[in-house]
Amino acid sequence: MLAHQLTEFDWLEAERNLYSRSLAEFVKSAWHIVEPTAPYVHGWHIDAVCAHLEAVTRGDINRLLINIPSGMMKSLLVSVFWPAWEWGAAGLPSMRYVAASHSQTFATRDTLRMRRLVTSDWYQERWPVPMTIDQNEKTKFENKSTGYRQAMAMMSLTGTRGDRVLLDDPHSVEGALSEAERRRSLRVFTETVPSRLNNPISSAIVVVMQRIHEQDIAGYILEHDLGYHHLMLPMEYEPERRCASRFYPDPRTVDGELLFPERFPREVVERDKKVMGSHATAGQNQQRPYARGGMLLHGGWFGSWTVLPKLKAMVIFADTAQKTAERHDYSVFQCWGHGVDDRAYLIDQIRGKWEAPDLKRNAADFWKKWQPEGAKKMMVEDKASGTGLIQELKREQKIPVFGIQRSIDKLVRVKDAAPQIEIGNVILPADAPWRSDFIAECEAFTADDTHPHDDQIDPMCDAIKEFLQPTKRRGFFS
């Protein structure tokens, strides 16, 4: 049938088929309803966010964390277009949404936007989803298939349940800088949000936010490995932190390449960076917050290896925590190599909060893994749990383990190590799953000691001191 012979019904059916397959195409076509005065500008990041939301709809994931800068349509995509798409194009009008933000005002704003979309003639012509009359308010509306959308402030997240709990900017910028406010938000997130799901097995939680503080909700999710699929897209591309999500990996390849140049070109990004300052830029634009005071260690300083060079020495360095409670540091074992090129190569590491028996077992297993590959010694801080570990590993496992006396302040040790990192003498494995967390911890280390964890930094400093600062060597290999 020729295009001019297609009936209006044929066109609508073709549109419905297209939109059922693609949330991004739905967004493009529905934009004029939600934002009638603003022209639609497309960027690949919209495809990336939509691909992840479609994965939630399919049931491939039911926990999703999206970290993306402000101005990228994150609220519209997650809180307006996606729920409307599920009700109509995806054929799920019975879905129930609980949408929360740090402010009732913002949560209500997006509920009104969604209501305007689903009640529009354009939408109803394609997907007749009639609304109920008795439940049609600013903060909650319902359709006749029992689906509803309710808006709530983060701190008032009680009394209702949904198939989708949407947390859109759960912290305000100022609130995230207050420890008391952060703790209240985290308490709601950990104690209340899980109880707001209709089905604890299949219902989904989607968190979308820009990073504001190391200990914000996104930071908590990542630190505690809560099973969220993570989409992280910084304003300026950082190769060492590339998001490799299986649903839509970051396609950029050039360091510094912009996320949405169609709307945020280089001159705008640079202008805004001057106004925002380095702290806000790092968190809100780059999605790697650090405490105020400035970074001492930059992720871009670390090199990458895929094939190790010939090594002059291989040593395991360890840092053990005093306790395993949530507020205490992890225990870390790192295997480092000293290359013939006089660079320090981090080969492998394990990290966890282990009680004494598990600590000893993990230390022994890590030694057994790398001793056949050339590890000659294990160096452990001779303090607290490390002292007992040294004694037990020597006595029971016959491991050549030696104590480290860290007699100077950690800040001094980091400042001593920083020049070697900056000139490219510290090399990390390119594909290690813990690489991004390692770099994030290094970047979070500041002079004011407000970072929650720095356990990976201690053994790194020990390795740099031993391999790359000969005037300060302790004679491990002499």
pLDDT in tens, 156-171: 888 889 999 999 999 9
Q: At 353, is the secondary structure helix, strand, or coil?
A: coil
Q: Is residue 83 part of a domain?
A: yes
Matching residue, tokens 């960027």:
43
Nearest to 83 by CA among 60, 56, 62, 104: 56
Q: Are the beta carbons of 466 and 315 closer than 8 angstroms?
A: yes
Q: Are the beta carbons of 387 and 364 closer than 8 angstroms?
A: no
pLDDT at 409: 77
229 and 324, same domain (yes or no): no
394 and 280, same domain (yes or no): no
What is the reported pTM?
A: 0.66
132 and 228, same domain (yes or no): yes
DSSP string, 318-373: EE--S--STTSPPEEEEEEEEETTS-EEEEEEEEE---HHHHHHHHHHHHHHHTTT
Last residue of a domain, one of 285, 316, 345: 285
More confident residue, 45 or 356: 45
Q: Max CA-CA distance within the chain? A: 88
Q: Is residue 293 part of a domain?
A: no
pLDDT at 472: 42
pLDDT at 123: 98
Nearest to 380 by CA among 320, 439, 431, 433: 320
pLDDT at 296: 80
The angle at the Cα of 470, spanning 438 to 421, to the nearest 5 degrees, equals 30
Last residue of a domain, one of 223, 251, 285: 285
Q: Is residue 478 part of a domain?
A: no
Q: Is residue 219 part of a domain?
A: yes
Q: Are the beta carbons of 458 and 383 closer than 8 angstroms?
A: no
Task: Provide the domain limits for residue 417.
Answer: 299-472
More confident residue, 324 or 48: 48
Q: For residue 477, give the amino acid letter.
A: F
Is a pLDDT exceeding 90 seen at residue 213? no
pLDDT at 453: 67
279 and 307, same domain (yes or no): no
117 and 243, same domain (yes or no): yes
33 and 151, same domain (yes or no): yes
Q: At 58, is the secondary structure helix, strand, or coil?
A: helix
119 and 266, same domain (yes or no): yes
Q: Is residue 292 part of a domain?
A: no
Is a pLDDT exceeding 60 seen at residue 416? yes
313 and 256, same domain (yes or no): no
Q: What is the CATH number of the domain that holds 406?
A: 3.30.420.240
The Cα 473–Cα 249 span in angstroms is 43
83 and 124, same domain (yes or no): yes
pLDDT at 451: 55
Per cent of the chain over pLDDT 70 is 92
Question: Taking phi first (over 0 means left), then psi (-120 to 50 degrees means alpha), and beta for anything else, what does residue 351 get?
Answer: beta
Instruction: Name residues whose C-beta falls within 8 Å of residue 301's C-beta, 6 or more positions apart in sequence.
Output: 421, 422, 424, 426
pLDDT digits (tens, 9 = 90+) for 297-348: 888 899 999 999 999 999 999 998 865 544 456 899 999 999 999 999 999 9
Mean pLDDT comparison of 12-16, 202-206, 394-398, highest-scoring range: 202-206
pLDDT digits (tens, 9 = 90+) for 114-147: 999 999 999 999 999 999 988 778 899 999 999 9
| Average pLDDT of span 170-176 | 84
pLDDT at 283: 87
262 and 349, same domain (yes or no): no
Matching residue, tokens 């930059």:
298
Q: What is the CATH number of the domain that holds 198?
A: 3.40.50.300
Q: Are the beta carbons of 414 and 297 closer than 8 angstroms?
A: yes
pLDDT at 362: 93
| Structural domain total, the chain | 2
pLDDT band, residue 478 (cuts 50/70/90): very low
304 and 417, same domain (yes or no): yes
Q: Is residue 290 part of a domain?
A: no
More confident residue, 384 or 331: 331
Helix 385-397 / helix 356-370 crossing angle, nearest 10 deg: 50
313 and 275, same domain (yes or no): no
Q: Is residue 291 part of a domain?
A: no
pLDDT digits (tens, 9 = 90+) for 259-296: 999 999 999 999 998 877 777 788 899 998 764 445 68
Q: Is residue 294 part of a domain?
A: no
Last residue of a domain, one of 230, 260, 285: 285
Q: In whole numbers, what is the pLDDT of the chain averaged over residues?
A: 89
Q: For residue 112, give the amino acid letter.
A: L
Beta strands in 5-86 (DSSP E): 63-67
Is a pLDDT exceeding 90 seen at residue 190? yes
| Average pLDDT of span 94-100 | 97
pLDDT digits (tens, 9 = 90+) for 421-474: 988 999 999 999 899 889 988 988 876 555 556 789 999 999 999 999 754 433
Nearest to 83 by CA among 159, 36, 142: 142
Matching residue, tokens 């950690």:
410
Q: Are the beta carbons of 167 and 199 closer than 8 angstroms?
A: no
Phi first, then psi: what are they for 342, rounded to 5°?
60, 40
